[in-house]
Amino acid sequence: MLFSRAPPRLPPPRPRTALEESFKRLGIKPTKTPGWHLWPKILLYWIRRYSWAISRRIWSLTGQRWLYLKECHGDADAEAASIRYVRRHTTIPVPRVWGPFNWLGTRFIVMSRVPGHSFDIHEWTRMPRATQDSIIAQLRYFVSQLRALPPPPSSTTICSVIGGPVHDSRIEFHPVGPFADEDEMNWYVRQGMPMEWLKERSPACYESHNRRHPLVLTHGDIAPRNIMIEGSTITAIIDWENCGWYPEHWEYRKAHWASDDITPGGWNDRIREFVEPFDFELEADRTIAPPGSAIGFPEGTQTRYRSVVVDIKDGLAFMLEKQWTAY
């Protein structure tokens, strides 16, 4: 009688070495062959890491006193062009821009350091009423200058100052467009939903997306964090990465999007004092922006918000960011 031999018992897996842990952290796949060819990647990683730390330290002791380096997440060329355009055609205080550049894979803009400091909602509520009124009056004058600038002639394109894509946090996480007109932008904002569906699920947004608004130059992110002040004087408006030619209601919508002060008489209640109010468009857009109450998908289903798969709970589109996909 033949007896089968028991399979050999495998030895326990050996613990990872420090070198293998480094490979895993750097995203380098393990290999059974000698890893001498991987050392240049590791060496480059540490050179970049220490170069960045040393550069920041040197910069803090030298040029940081007079210049500011802004790390850009959108189109650095478009933002630099926006600041220069505003500086050339208005009296709005903005930093002086020298230009963008790349450093160790990161895009920066070199600009002058402006006096003063930005503020937050808590500081705003503690300001004297006279100081608040002065800041609001200056903002109203600055916004009126932006809206008085003529858009490109015979153009309905929603674009950056240089005619390229727009970087707007309400529309997309990265630069998109340019959009041929307001219809195309609205289609993107409502995630491609057909107008027939929109009419059923959000009649207010259906009416809003059937309206047409003239294009005006828009900052796109007017919030306390982007307003530099000294006392009651605005010393600069900063962060122009969202700037571009948008429908005239978009500045009001984005000012509310950028701040969530729900205090009665607080910052959000006073936005209408320096930007022409478009309350109907604001409330209509809120029905299709997360968490929106009028999308109308059944509970338990999923939909796409920008690049994020969203679970629908209780009729509201809550962003759970549980899965990123490429559509």
Q: What local confidence, expressed as pLDDT, does residue 64 receive? A: 61
170 occurs within a structural domain: yes
Residues 171 and 226 in one domain: yes
Residues 182 and 213 in one domain: yes
| Burial label, 43 (beta-carbon count in 10 A; 0-12, 13-18, 19+) | exposed
User: Cα–Cα distances in Å, from 245 out to 46, 150, 166?
Assistant: 43, 10, 9
306 occurs within a structural domain: yes
- DSSP code at position 321: -
Give the total number of structural domains in the chain: 2
Nearest residue to 145 via CA among 217, 75, 200: 217
- DSSP code at position 10: P
Q: What local confidence, expressed as pLDDT, does residue 86 receive? A: 93
Residues 163 and 306 in one domain: no
User: Cα–Cα distances in Å, from 262 out to 59, 191, 256, 258, 270?
Assistant: 39, 27, 10, 12, 11
280 occurs within a structural domain: yes
User: How far, in Å, CA of 116 to CA of 97, rounded?
Assistant: 18
Alpha helices in 11-128 (DSSP H): 18-25, 39-61, 76-89, 121-126
Residue ranges in the chain whose pLDDT is less than 70: 1-38, 48-66, 104, 154, 290-327
Residues 239 and 150 in one domain: yes
Residues 218 and 311 in one domain: no
189 occurs within a structural domain: yes
SS3 category, 69: strand
Alpha helices in the chain (DSSP H): 18-25, 39-61, 76-89, 121-126, 129-148, 182-189, 195-201, 203-208, 250-257, 267-270, 279-286
Residues 271 and 305 in one domain: no
Residues 318 and 266 in one domain: no
- DSSP code at position 160: -
Residues 129 and 223 in one domain: yes
List the CATH number of the domain containing 149.
Answer: 3.90.1200.10
Residues 270 and 126 in one domain: yes
Q: What local confidence, expressed as pLDDT, does residue 293 receive? A: 41
Cα within 13 Å of Cα(258), Cβ side: 22
Domain extent, residue 283, equals 121-289
128 occurs within a structural domain: yes
- The three-point CA angle 75-135-281 to 5° equals 60
49 occurs within a structural domain: no
In sequence order, the 6+-apart residues with CB closer than 8 A to the CB of 198 are: 190, 205, 206, 209, 288
User: How far, in Å, CA of 10 to CA of 21, rounded?
Assistant: 23
Q: What local confidence, expressed as pLDDT, does residue 327 receive? A: 28
Q: What local confidence, expressed as pLDDT, does residue 130 receive? A: 92
Residues 303 and 258 in one domain: no
114 occurs within a structural domain: no
pTM for the full model?
Answer: 0.70
Q: What local confidence, expressed as pLDDT, does residue 273 receive? A: 92
247 occurs within a structural domain: yes
Q: What local confidence, expressed as pLDDT, does residue 136 receive? A: 93
Summarize pLDDT for 164-216 with one digit per residue, the tens: 888 888 887 778 878 888 988 888 888 777 888 888 888 888 999 999 999 99
Helix (H) / strand (E) containing 230 = strand 227-230
Q: What local confidence, expressed as pLDDT, does residue 319 receive? A: 35
Residues 283 and 300 in one domain: no
Residues 255 and 321 in one domain: no
Q: Give the number of other CB atoms < 10 A from CB of residue 165.
A: 20
